[in-house]
Amino acid sequence: MQNKLMTGVLPALVTPLDQEGNVKTELAPALIDMYVKQQADGLYMLGWTGEGQYLSVEKRKQWAEAVLQAAEHKLPIFVHVGYNENLEDSIELAAHAEEHGAYAVASVGISEQATLQDNVDYFKRISAAAPNTPFYIYWVAMGKTLTGGQSIEPSLLLEAMKEVPTFRGIKFTDNNFYFLERFKKHQPDLNILTGADELAICSQLMGADGNIGALQAVTCYHHKVMMEKMSAGLYEEARDLQYRANEVTEAYSKAAIGNLPGIKLLIEEIFQIPVGYCSPTGPFHGVYHTKDTATELIETYRKNILVNG
């Protein structure tokens, strides 16, 4: 099992779908090649940006297989296996991800009602299904999604997670970086990858190893340059790049656009990969943009974002 810290920029990968919701698996090589060119350090698939919650187990397997095959020897791939009311689905997806060469598997907690022990028992089952693959959990809302709505100190969560033998790190999607720093204090070798895309430079200052995010799906190289500026101590330059990336967030977050349809449009328009529609069962069902319906978003992107090549 891999034990090294994953660092850098890991875009959240979209799932390309046609209008009926079928996965366009044939686009996996083009997306992998695009992210290699944009200097991604890895990819995170089938989380929120990848619409895993709104895809069947079979479709998630189809897309995971296509991506893992295309990414072999090119990029490490994190496969999210959670979001399932039937927990057996998560176990099946974890085993499938390991079988096909995933670098890591990850999951949210079971539900907002599940206790910490409920979640630890669930995570242990995922670990057993993929015993040779690092496992990552989500930290959001001060950990309350892992504890039935109760606050928890990082040290106590880490103590509980000792029961999960493959536990390697956290996708830390929270704005309170005090907790990030405390995790690192109590377990320095814990791999923390932040999901607060619009605060990436702040997370690096507080000890994050890297970033996973939807914004990076279309700003990968831009974020790479930004984080290099941070590492070099060029804080004003890094801050300017963060502000410019945040212009894109503001543009695609407008109600008339929607962040995921906006991201898919930018991939089509900027990188010429027709990733298509959002899931018919998800919150953006029927929302599809062209360059004529989202001109401001495209102009904002071209004005602000660095692209490699």
171 is catalytic: yes
Q: List, in sequence order, the alpha helices (H) in 130-194.
A: 154-160, 177-186
CB 248 within 8 A of CB 305: yes
Rounded alpha-carbon distances, angstroms, from residue 228 to 11, 103, 217, 309: 16, 24, 18, 18
Residue type, 146: L
Q: Which residue among the candidates 54, 122, 138, 301 is catalytic per the annotation?
A: 138
Q: How far is CA 189 from CA 164, 168, 202, 217, 238, in A?
A: 16, 9, 20, 27, 26
Under 8 Å CB-to-CB from 149, ≥6 apart: which residues?
A: 112, 113
Is-catalytic flag, 229? no
Q: Among 61, 171, 224, 264, which one carries the catalytic annotation?
A: 171
CA quadruple 61, 62, 64, 67: dihedral, nearest 10: 170
Burial (CB < 10 A; 0-12, 13-18, 19+), residue 309, is exposed
Enumerate residues 6+ apart whose C-beta is below 8 A from 294.
Answer: 257, 262, 265
Structure tokens at 21: 């919701």
Largest CA distance in the chain: 53
Q: Show which residues are catalytic.
A: 138, 171
